[in-house]
Structure 1
Amino acid sequence: MTSLDKRPDAAIDRAAARTHLPAYDDDAPPPVPRASLGRMTPDELFVRAGSWFAAFGLAWVTTQRLLPMTGIPWFLISWFVLGIVVTAVATAATGTWIDVKDRVAASIITGCALFVGSALVAVVVYVAVKGYKPVLNLNFVTDDMAGVGPKDPFDQGGIRHAIVGSLIEIGIAVAITLPLGVGTAVFMTEVGGRYARVVRTLVEAMTALPSIVAGLFVYTVYILALGRPPSGLAAALALSVMMLPIIARASDVVLRVVPGGLREASLALGASRWRTVWHVVLPTARPGLATALILGVARGIGETSPVLLTSGAADFTKLNPLEGAMNSLPLFIFGNVRSGNDVAIQRAYGAALVLLMLVLVLFVIARLLARPRRTTARRSRKADS
């Protein structure tokens, strides 16, 4: 026997020759192709799809023929419950108990996700259907309501004053809350200690603060105690009180996710704690901090009661936030819905549609600004290709 015959692969080949089995080859594909991990077999597809088709028929018979449960909501609820039951029974007949739990859990999670998505789509579609007529007129976003009555047609007046007021107020609120919120998160995450635990407890408690309380706080301290008039700045301060705990809490969660190895590597290279936070931790967590900012803006831009208490409403465009009433989109919607006039209510729905588009634009801008920059290596690879 030569030295080559003493190799483990040679022994396997000799054993395979004696048992008339195919020789083992590391580079050869397996004799039976493996099924894809993310692809269902025809039997699994039949069980899953057939279970929900059968549940559809059972739900129709149950709600429309057997029980007095007419209406689409009862039908959808029955379909969902019966679909889970039929899926569990069909899976138990062909699989193991682990397969039953897996498919039931997958069905529940998928159903909940579809419910949340359907609710969001329903809200957007309903607002768009009710408010598209005013938005079709260009003057709706270029004019204000100065000298326009609530019953005047849609080609007169607009919501420019409310859009400008919302942007000014939310801009001031972001300028106040973003450094304070991120700084609070850095203190809780990077500094730590006894006081950090106290601050984290206060931040978590303030996330459930009612908006009317924030408005009353600013109204009492800024307007009554300091003697300042109602203004857009007072409304921005009230929005800041609402946005600060949201941004601080979300930023704290994001900064705690940053790997500790990055901090240790920076400190090992001789960087100070401040330079480590500024040049390593914050750039790494930038996409998550953008999400925290989006959550805060979404909370603040839709508030009505703080603005009503601290600013008041105006029918004309106001650019100075230091004095005088300044309107906003939520306040404009609230005032027009309360009027009871059909034209004013449609204007309110149109303003709600514009508010949704404005939030979407702010979301896209924040995500674009928070995208990680392409490194030099990526640019060189792209240039080479």
Structure 2
Amino acid sequence: MNNVNNVKYQWRKTKNQIILATIAILAIIPAIPLFIILFQLFQKGISSLSIDFFLNLPAPPGEPGGGIKNAIVGTFIIVGLASLMGVPLSIMAGIYLSEYGKESKFAHLVRMCADIFQGVPSIVIGIIAYAWVVKPMGKFSALSGSVALAIMMIPVVVRTTEEVLRLVPNILREASLALGVPYWRTVLKVVLPTGMVGVTTGVLIAVARIAGETAPLLFTAFGNPFMTYNPLEPMNALPLLIFNYSMSPYEDWWQQAWGASIVLITIVLLLNIASRILARRVAGEK
């Protein structure tokens, strides 16, 4: 009898190990493409990385050397302007949905629009920004690119802000209101600061998403081989530089496109890592 029980136990143990190994393999498989991409990027682009690569402007077509300084600066300017436009509006909309609109018909409409916009292809957003900003201005500009990216980040931050603020315990609201504090001040001084880490996580996720977008910038910022800080002029960005260089007939530009890809993916990865660290901090505080 004991032998039979031992055999059954060993079989259950073996079956459990097989299932655990299968699950582990299936969990690793989705990460394999990422590691392959990173390996190829560093294999082909690491030789381009140098101080001059970061500090110099692009060389004329066909000439060796040059750098991506204008694209790096342009990326931060365009993404920064998009954040300045999109983040305050998104947070206010999220506060409305969480604290005021709640289950109203208008709140449901806003949520539906936000969810729909999250699924709109980026090239469509670029066309919208082209019609709204580029055509009236009569020229391409970093500002129009920022508008396109702001449109893309707003739905993400709105929904994240709403969900984070909904997780704030009602006892904090009730305690503030019991002291005679107006509701609007309770929201700004109690609810929002309590959920600020989670809101910041949503902002970082949105910034990481828009930082690598190319299609909207093709219709708006357009690109610029020269250095400019004027948001009303065409401006280069890392996604645009990578696209243009990879489509060029010059091998030196291909090499620089690989190097620029390393820089861009590093920025995106750092933003994602920061957002995950903040998300874990929020989970730890709960």
TM range (shorter): 0.7 to 0.9
Distance 1:142 1:354 in 2: 13
Provide the residue aligned with 2:171 in structure 1.
261
- SS of 1:339's equivalent in the other structure is coil
Provide the residue aligned with 1:244 in structure 2.
154
Provide the residue aligned with 2:43 in structure 1.
129
2:225 to 311, 315, 325: 315
TM-score, normalisation: structure 1: 0.65
Letter of the aligned partner of 1:144 in structure 2?
A: L
TM-superposed deviation, 1:127: 1.1
Letter of the aligned partner of 1:159 in structure 2?
A: I
Distance 2:21 2:96 in 1: 42
- SS of 1:258's equivalent in the other structure is coil
Provide the residue aligned with 1:337 in structure 2.
246
TM-superposed deviation, 1:95: 5.5
CA contact (8 A) 1:287 1:367 kept: no
Does residue 113 in structure 1 map to residue 22 in structure 2? no
1:241-276 Cα distance to aligned partner (Å, 9 max, x none): 111111112222222222222222222232222222
2:261 to 349, 352, 357: 352
Provide the residue aligned with 2:4 in structure 1.
none
1:47-105 Cα distance to aligned partner (Å, 9 max, x none): xxxxxxxxxxxxxxxxxxxxxxxxxxxxxxxxxxxxxxxxxxx9782369xx85x973x
Structure 1: 5+ residue stretches without partners: 1-89, 373-385
- SS of 2:137's equivalent in the other structure is coil
Does residue 177 in structure 1 map to residue 86 in structure 2? yes
Structure 2: 5+ residue stretches without partners: 1-7, 282-286
TM-superposed deviation, 1:371: 10
CA contact (8 A) 1:287 1:371 kept: no
Letter of the aligned partner of 2:25 in structure 1?
A: G
Mapping of residues 31-110 of structure 1, within 5 Å: 93-94=11-12, 100=16, 104=19, 106-107=20-21, 109-110=23-24
CA contact (8 A) 1:212 1:305 kept: yes
Distance 2:69 2:192 in 1: 37
Larger helix fraction of residues: 2
Seen in structure 2, the aligned counterparts of structure 1 residues 175 and 112 have a Cα distance that, compared at 3 Å, is: farther
Seen in structure 2, the aligned counterparts of structure 1 residues 369 and 171 have a Cα distance that, compared at 3 Å, is: farther
Does residue 140 in structure 1 map to residue 53 in structure 2? yes
Does residue 288 in structure 1 map to residue 198 in structure 2? yes
Letter of the aligned partner of 1:206 in structure 2?
A: F
TM-score, normalisation: structure 2: 0.85
CA contact (8 A) 1:172 1:233 kept: yes
Distance 1:318 1:285 in 2: 38
Query: Which stretch shifts more, 277-286 or 164-173?
Result: 277-286
Choose 1 or 2 for highest CA Rg: 1
Does residue 197 in structure 1 map to residue 111 in structure 2? no
Letter of the aligned partner of 2:190 in structure 1?
A: V
Greater relative contact order structure (CA < 8 Å, 6+ sep): 2
